[in-house]
Amino acid sequence: MEIRSENPSPVRDSSPDETLTQHKPLRCIVKLGGAAITCKNELERINEESLVAVCHQLRESMAPAKAAGGAAKILGMDWSRRPDSHIVSVSDEFDGRPLLDVDGSFIIVHGAGSFGHFQASRSRVHKGGLHLPLVQAGFVATRISIASADVSQIVSALGAGFVPVLHGDAVLDHSQDCTILSGDVIIRHLAKLLRPQYVVFLTDVLGVYDRPPADRNAILVREIVVDEEGNWSIVRPPPEHLTRQAEVEISVASHDTTGGMETKIAEAVAIAKLGIDVYITMAGTEHSLSALRGVITTDWLGTVIRSTLKINMV
């Protein structure tokens, strides 16, 4: 079974030789899904409660063992809160460890959610046609709707101990001149280049269901395996427990320009094929914290997507 993303990928695939070397191994690439951190059906509205919860969990997961779960021991230098002052604020517990004292081996990619998708879908930027005035206008409007991030220096930023924060965008494209590049696709390419230990997709539902989760009979798919060819199959619950056996039915919001859950599964499968475990779960829950830590227990709720090769090796 294979799901193909509707959008052509504007990012060129790399050969294994192009795998980038870094100072220390990348622990995790995490997607903060737009469905979780924004109110995806309301134009440009952040879901602050969810975003704050996710940020706390990220900080907890990234903190070195000494600080995990305890008081933050970080040298703060946030001038943005005091624009007329150059005073450096130092947390009371500061004990001489360096600025940004986090385990820097994380990359965060956030979804657009209610930013970008509305503008892009109204002007059909994801379908190409940059010569059309409406598409040109939509291309600009989409880019204005989300703040920019410098993607080109990810490895240097990691090497310097920073946590790169990226996002999808309206981009120029070889095959249809312009399109919308999803954060989900960016993650697949980064995973191929940087080989994180695991990848986490946080969204507004617990994982992949056998049908749209709005259906109250929908069943959570707990585990999907991917073979060497990239074909995937559900192993937990056993397919015979599912109404549609090996298939999942997916609905995508009309203003979603990047394929919604369908794209996420396709990208997650491609990542798992590389031998990298992928966890999809709900943001701001105990399950997202476990996923961010890379510690999955039997009572964990979410969808694990992993390679059959890895399972055979265990």
Ligand X SMILES: Nc1ncnc2c1ncn2[C@@H]1O[C@H](COP(=O)(O)OP(=O)(O)OP(=O)(O)O)[C@@H](O)[C@H]1O
Ligand Y SMILES: C=C(C)CCOP(=O)(O)O
For residues 133-172, which are near ligand Y according to CB under 6 A? 142, 146, 168-170
Interface with ligand X (CB under 6 A), residue from 29, 30, 35, 292: 35
Q: Return the residue of 111, 138, 284, 302 that touches ligand Y, per CB under 6 A.
A: 111
Residue 257 and residue 259: Cα distance in Å, rounded? 6
Whether the bond into 212 is cis, omega within 30 of 0: no
x/- letters, 179..198, toward ligand X (CB under 6 A): ----x---------------
Q: Which does residue 239 bind out of ligand Y, ligand X, none, counting CB within 5 to 8 angstroms by kind?
A: none
Q: What's the CA angle centered on 163, arms 161 and 165, to 5 degrees?
A: 150
Greatest CA separation found in the chain? 65
Taking CB under 6 A as the criterion, the residue among 34, 104, 284, 302 binding ligand Y is: 34
Looking at 30, 36, 178, 200, which residue binds ligand X (CB under 6 A)?
36
| Residue 281 interacts with, from ligand Y, ligand X, none (CB under 5-8 Å by kind) | none
129 contact choice in ligand X, ligand Y, none (CB below 5 to 8 Å, kind-dependent): none
Cα–Cα distance for residue pair 160/92, rounded to 1 Å = 25
Reading the block at residue 202, the tokens are 């946080």
Q: Is 204 annotated as a binding residue?
A: yes
**Nearer residue to ligand X within complex by CB, 61 or 281:** 281
List, edge to edge, every strand of the sheet that includes 223-226. Answer: 165-167, 106-110, 28-32, 198-203, 277-282, 303-307, 223-226, 232-236
What is the rounded CA–CA span in Å between residue 68 and residue 295? 14
If binding is defined by CB under 6 A, does position 239 make contact with ligand X? no
Q: Do 105 and 23 contact (CB within 8 A), yes or no?
A: no
> Residue 145, Cβ neighbours under 10 Å: how many?
19
- Least CB distance from residue 225 to ligand X, whole Å? 17
Residue 208 lies near ligand X (rule: CB under 6 A) = yes
Of 75 and 149, CB closest to ligand X: 149
Q: What part of residues 112-131 is at the interface with ligand X (CB under 6 A)?
A: 112-113
CA distance 222 to 200: 14
In order of 118, 121, 144, the CA distances from 170 in angstroms are 12, 11, 10
* Alpha-helix runs per DSSP H in 63-145: 117-123, 133-145
Per-residue binder mask for ligand Y (CB under 6 A), 166-205, x = binder: --xxx---------x-xxx---------------------
76 annotated as belonging to a binding site for a ligand:
no
Annotated binding site for ATP: 204, 260, 264
Residues that bind ligand X (CB under 6 A): 33-36, 40, 111-113, 183, 203-205, 208-209, 211-213, 248-251, 256, 258, 260-261, 264
Residues that bind ligand Y (CB under 6 A): 34, 111-112, 116-117, 120, 142, 146, 168-170, 180, 182-184, 257-258
